Structure 1
Amino acid sequence: MRPRALLLALLWGVHSARGSPSVYLVDDIFGNFLLVKGATLSETTFNISADSLCTCRTQCNALADCTAASLIDDVCRLSSSGLKVSTFTEHENATLMLWNTTQDGSFWLAGDGRLYLTVSGMLIAGDASATCSGFPGFRLGSFSSLESMAVLKEFFDRDGSMVSVDLSPRNVWGDGVPYNQANSLFNRVIASGYNFGIVNGDLTHGYRGTRVRLLCQADLANAEVP
């Protein structure tokens, strides 16, 4: 058995149905891809039979424009839809694979050891959290360390558009770390309400209808976060 096939087999075998989906980053000859244990495609281009995760992956590689695949028992679901229109659901016996080949989004491993995912274009701030949660294993970004804040600053600097972040009006990041207890690269503009984002070096309040860029975040099951 080839090393990559062995890795897929091991990941398939160690999955636990308890808790939220687990996100892995797999190095593959056809390109890195996300492997999410406990999630599946809700809508597919078509379904085929597959006896293993490796076979399902190979079938996706053979399909033109295939960007995602999931396996439940012996059913391999394949999709050529982009990230914006794909829908996913949690399923205790499923495994989802996503390739970084879509035109409407991308993912990358950042210097803070976390995985980040973004989609092209803008959306309203009030939809940011729910949109990130729609990608299994991901959440709206919490930036409670200097390493993660550096990732946020680099992403903001790409075009200077407001980036939505998970900071509550009670000064608590989405991961539970109080803002005042974390070292910060940013000034915080005092404002009431939800939907904070970064603009020009400041963490500031944005109303629900504010147009923002989306930056989703996940902790890798096969990596340590600083």
Structure 2
Amino acid sequence: MNYLETGQRIVKLIGYDAGRADMRRSKKIPTSDVDFDYFYPLQTLGWERSDCVRAITDLLGAELVPTKSSCFFCPASKVWELFWIAAHEPELLERALYMERVALTGKHSRFDEVEFGASWEELVRNADRFPSTATTVGLGRSFSWNQWARVNNVVDADFRVWRSAESIERFITSAAALQTSDNALDRRFSDPERKVIPILPAQQAFTFETE
């Protein structure tokens, strides 16, 4: 016998926390619709992301605190997260940079060279930033990851991430300096040893050809 036959409704538990960002998101979702009722247990408890990290650490150990659930090329990634992935997952950052280059220089690119006075690749390689515009100029929407990586000496001239011990330490230090207690708070923030734990292992099956 299913819930329709008994007249019972399904309650969906949504993992939005009590931080400002998730509180804003939850206000846009109705408390119920024709199929479901929605409940936010973390908000009922008043728990923010840091409280979740603390609870998992206390009960299961810091090594089981997951990283943020997102793609390695997530446009919402913050700069500290880019430094973190450069230090711990350089191959994934290189894939993201390649994807951005193909999207902005390929035949389907919407980048308007006339508006900016130069091609996307010229601006990436020779300018410190793009002119102010409402046009999406890269994975960061308002900024190009490739340009960020070049300006911050994260990559070489071929946009390959530096992998020396000194570079990795610099990336880790930069990430730590830029991290704040926001809604991306997770093991990357809380683990003082910055353990190298692979993220999105399924992505290892992803391959591409370089230019």
- TM-score (structure 1 length as normaliser): 0.26
Structure richer in strand, relative to its length: 1
- TM-score (structure 2 length as normaliser): 0.27
